[in-house]
Amino acid sequence: MSAALQASRPKGSSVENKTVGERKYLIGGNWKSNGSYDENAERVNVFNGAGAIPDNVEVVLCVPYLHIPLCLTSLRDDIEVGAQNCGNNVKDGAFTGEVGAHMLKDIGCTWVIIGHSERREGFGMVGETEALCAEKCKVALDKGLKVMFAIGEKKEERESGVTMEVCAKQLEPLAKLLGEAEWANVAIAYEPVWAIGTGLTATPEMAQDTHADIRKWVKENVSEAVAKAVRIQYGGSMKGANAVDLLKQPDIDGGLIGGASLKADFFNVINGVPK
């Protein structure tokens, strides 16, 4: 099914970037629950004409379930297509309203976001626990998807000085479930909750400090090799105007982009990687 869907995708284009870091940058777009079919088709057209992508950047768009086929048939083929969530069910069955990771893989998705703060917190419903987020990540990996695993603290937690304690609590169940080799298909998306969709952004120095702390935690609780290889994205109101300063930090390996991924500005973020 996925090959048939994607046969019509237009070719993308890349440009050499001579700046080579330890890790390939990962720029993910999260369209959240936005866009009619026609509006998102127009976004696809804008991105298809947005020019070359640096060859040291991996780009993924995580779109609403209904618009995954649209992107898999018409989005340029150098932008991967992912989902924003999946169920913890490992196969078909009586799971009303859920979309399984095996279904996403079958249709052609390569990535899924797990643990976004909006899902952890809930929006008029019970939020997802740390244990459930870890379980979903494990299921997605087992079904062949790659995962952007989102973590992050609230404003009052940042002000209380417990940012890393919060992030560690969110990572601990995952570290217990995954073998070392499985981390090759996981990116950690650090998203300070107070900066998501608010226009507020951690300073590059604040973001770097937290990313370095997360990498240290992975070194101490998973392995040194995983800590060196794992990509840690920043996801708090990153946009073209601040991407350059954020992405030049040594432990910031990309971004998980919300509002800016709905606009042509998404490519300003992509092109904001060090050159």
Mention every residue, 6+ apart, whose C-beta is less than 8 A from residue 42: none
What's the whole-number mean pLDDT along residues 212-234?
98
Question: Scanning the structure block, which residue is given the tokens 């893989």?
Answer: 105
Give residue 184's pLDDT band: very low, low, confident or very high (50, 70, 90).
very high
pLDDT at 20 over 90: no
Active site residues per annotation? 116, 191
Contact 204, 163 (CB under 8 A): no
What's the whole-number mean pLDDT along residues 43-57?
97
Q: Tell me, what's the pLDDT at 62? A: 98
Q: Tell me, what's the pLDDT at 34? A: 98
What's the whole-number mean pLDDT along residues 207-230?
98
pLDDT at 121 over 60: yes
**Nearest-CA neighbor of 5 among 144, 86, 105, 84?**
105
What's the whole-number mean pLDDT along residues 160-183?
97
Counting every residue, how long is the chain?
275
pLDDT at 248 over 90: yes
244 half-sphere exposure, CB direction, 13 A CA radius: 5
Give residue 17's pLDDT band: very low, low, confident or very high (50, 70, 90).
confident
Q: Tell me, what's the pLDDT at 19? A: 73
**Nearest-CA neighbor of 57 among 97, 14, 95, 93?**
14
Q: Tell me, what's the pLDDT at 275? A: 86
Q: Tell me, what's the pLDDT at 1? A: 54
The conformation of residue 127, written as its DSSP 8-state character, comes to P
**Nearest-CA neighbor of 191 among 236, 250, 237?**
236
